[in-house]
Amino acid sequence: MTQAVASSVVVRVPGKINLQLSVGPKESDGYHGVVTVFQSISLYDDVTVTKEEIGAGLSLDINGDHIHGVPTDESNLAWRAAVLMCQKYELPADLRIEIKKSIPVAGGMAGGSADAAATILAIDALFSLGQTREELHGVAAQLGSDVPFMLSGGTAVGRGRGDQVTSALSRGTYHWVLALSTVGLSTPAVYTECDRLREGMKAVTPQVSDHLLQALLAADPVALGKSLINDLQPAACSLRPALRLILDVGGEYGALGSIVSGSGPTVAFLVSDEDQALDLAVALTSSGVVGSVMRVSGPVPGARVTDVH
């Protein structure tokens, strides 16, 4: 049995937006192959994993700004991550997980996946497992398509289900304004609607956008704004028509580009600098069509241990 050298570990993990999300046809197993370009952004959850007395079992507490609808049982991805790590490395599953949430729930920003990644890293540190990044990614891939990226962060290309992650060359810092909705969208429901909208259309195998990768390499936010693409956006807007109004407001106030992040309903607006971010945030807030607004930047590093005691 691996001996623990700490009693508690805190991991900070960012949310993400998808600069590109291209969705292939529905496959026989019910899933879709995707090509996506992730960027991690400066909006964080803090996950604390603490050893409990033998026999205490696993527990999960959640607090913070965005906790409505977050499960605190075995259906939570962080809980599942803890169980998987304890089984794989034969660790005592007497742990308390505490999540302080700032990443919106069901917002297309991988909040649940972020918490799972943070839990994997926290348990690795808590028990001094010393696992390589590849080994941690292997565990992460068993939990969901976004979890491996949340470990590494930065800017990356995801293939397959999104879980085959390779770093993308990116220069510069990008400024975003996020329009958050008060009610989330179900990812399966958005994919189902995407399939419905595509009925009778010839499915195309997705490819990564060269224009988008060139814009990132050149640190060119104007070119990046023109290259943003999300095949799920029409489906998200179909299920939540108010998203079209939000997208229109961003366009009117000079955003370089706009995109529904992932399966939505968060809308991300790319802007040129912090001043424009503030102007757009004020405009969106006064428009009355958004729940709340946040200003963030990216890329940022993925899950990181911030405290051990």
Q: Catalytic residue positions?
A: 16, 146
Q: Distance (Å, rounded) from C-alpha 132 to C-alpha 257?
A: 37
Sequence letter at residue 68? H
CB count in 10 Å sphere of residue 64: 13
Helices marked H in 131-209: 133-141, 147-152, 187-197
Residue 190's SS3 state is helix
Q: How many angstroms separate the most distant Cα atoms in the chain?
A: 60
CA distance 22 to 210: 13
Q: What is the distance of C-alpha 282 from the center of its chain?
A: 25
Q: What is the Cα 126 distance to its own chain's centre?
A: 24
Structure tokens at 293: 């607004």
* Contact status, residue 211 vs residue 300, Cβ threshold 8 Å: no
Nearest CA to 19 out of 208, 210, 229, 162 is that of: 229
- Pull the structure tokens for residue 216: 């990132």
Radius of gyration of the chain (CA): 19
Kindly give, in sequence order, each residue whose CB lies less than 8 Å from that of residue 200, ignoring residues fewer than 6 positions away: none
Q: Which DSSP string corresponds to 11-32?
A: EEEEEEEEEEEEEEEE-TTS-E
For the residues of 63-122, what is the DSSP string, one character each? EES--TT---STTSHHHHHHHHHHHHTT----EEEEEEE-SPTTSSS-HHHHHHHHHHHH
